[in-house]
Structure 1
Amino acid sequence: MLYDDSDNTEIEVYTRVAEELDLITEALLNGQANRVKMLTQIAIENGIKPMTILEKGLLPGMQVISDKFKQNMIYISDVLIASRAMHAGLYVLKPILSAPQQALRGRVVIGTVAGDLHDIGKNLVVMMMRGAGLDVIDLGVDVLPEDFILAVEDYQPEIVAMSAMLTTTLPMMPETIRELERNGLRDQVKVIIGGGPATKDFAHVIKADGFAMDATEVVDLVEQVLAVGK
């Protein structure tokens, strides 16, 4: 009987991929932006899928940073350094993740709500949406309710997406929804929310049309919301 080493080959490939992803996570935790960028590029060249790099290499590192910050184990300066390293990896992944993979017809206006300057989560969502073929209008961070209203009037989107990473800025989400109502625009758009402190229950309370836990869930959520609107 001939020896079949195919199983060993698969194990070796799996181990190599895991090691490469661990190196990316470690570099991000150390705030080594240039190294994260280089390792991400090498991973792409070695055939590792961009979403795998994002979900298994970059995001776990930022989750560790977020947990440590919540536990007062690190300072905001450490978070900013890690965020810079995260952006370095995203710089490599963005052109690939943003390339349209399918034709989802729809336009989305998105922004981080007023008082909140966090943009990593929002930027990931933007990439996922654009990768799904959506026309995304990114308003950036610290977006006032009035700015969302102007964007809805100017761009006529099917969806308004709001992000928040600070508990203190969550009230800006229902305020924006009320502003849509006051301007007679609420029935024209679906509203979805996301971000660290946001929850499905909160989305229900403020009468949003949907909630996504993270960027990987957004495309499915958008498809569901658009389907309901047809």
Structure 2
Amino acid sequence: MEKEVLFENISKSVIEMEEDEVAELCKKSLEMNISAYETIKNGLIAGMDKVGRLYEEEEYFLPEVLICSDAMNEGLNILKPHLDRQIMDNPVKVVIGVVEGDTHDIGKNLVKVMMESSGFTVYDLGRDVPLEKFVAKAEEENTDIICMSTLMTTTMPGMKKVVDELKQKNIRDKYKVMIGGGPVSQKFADEIGADFYTVDATEAVKKVKELMN
């Protein structure tokens, strides 16, 4: 099997949510002595990129995206032990969570899935996250980005508190702060001093890639 055909089949199997097929094809790529990094980039991530577009076009919804993500992870589990760390790009590191007082995490979960499928390292704090935890985790893991979401207007001020804490500790310049969620807007991002706002998961990944390039 040609390398390009194999990548295309892996990508297609991710889109079609075929976990077993993804696993078999990734094993095949190792038998063919194709580098794990190449297979991840041109097979698995290429597939999830298309899934992201299907989500954007409302052909796929969250359940489909999560099942596609499971299929991708099957492949990742097989390929990761064979990665040459020297070839891997320095992954963008992101700490993500839903701010304190809010338990709506579907949007946050989707952003996480899309970021991981793009090769980012994501530290997921979950939902209803105590505000001080964002900065503490970012410092502990030396991340590039702090990403916060909420679906409630009552918890939006928590985002400003996190930005203010970064300023108080004189580490604001170390991190890009990204916010998102139903009631949030670019205007609000500007008001609280966040770096950027994104309307959905696909946009979040695009913005991070632009920022880090």
Question: Counterpart of 2:52?
Answer: 51
SS in 2 for 1:178: helix
Larger Rg: 1 or 2? 1
**Alignment match, 1:7:** none
Task: Determine the C-alpha separation between the residues in 2 that align with 1:176 and 1:188.
Answer: 14
- Residue 93 of structure 1 pairs with residue 79 of structure 2: no
CA contact (8 A) 2:51 2:65 kept: no
Question: For 1:6-31, what per-residue CA distance to the aligned partner results, in whole angstroms no more than 9, with x for missing partners?
Answer: xxxxxxxxxxxxxxxxxxxxxxxxxx
Contact 1:115 1:142 survives alignment (8 Å): yes
2:147 is the alignment partner of 1:146: no
Q: 1:174 aligns with which of 160, 174, 186?
A: 160
Task: State how 1:127-206 maps to structure 2 within 5 Å.
Answer: 127-206=113-192
Map residues 20-31 of structure 1 onto 2, 5 A cutoff. Answer: none
1:214 is the counterpart of 2:200: yes
Q: How far apart, in 2, do the equivalents of 1:97 and 1:189 lie?
A: 29
Q: Percent identity?
A: 39
What displacement does 1:50 show? 3.2
Higher relative contact order (CA 8 A, sep 6+): 2
Shift of the 171–43 alpha-carbon distance from structure 1 to 2, 3 Å rule, reads same
Structure 1 portions without partners, runs of 5+: 1-40, 60-85
Query: 86, 105, 116: which is aligned to 1:119?
Result: 105
Is contact 1:118–1:165 with CA below 8 Å preserved after alignment?
A: yes
TM-score between both structures, scaled by the size of structure 2 = 0.65
Distance verdict in 2 for CA 1:42–1:206, change over 3 Å:
closer
Could you list the structure 1 runs, at least 4 aligned residues long, displaced by more than 6 angstroms after superposition.
Answer: none
- Counterparts of 1:90 and 1:52 in 2: how far apart (Å)? 11
Query: What's the Cα RMSD here?
Result: 2.6
- Please list every run of 5 or more consecutive structure 2 residues that lacks an aligned counterpart in the other structure: 1-13, 19-46, 77-87
Number of aligned positions between the proteins: 157
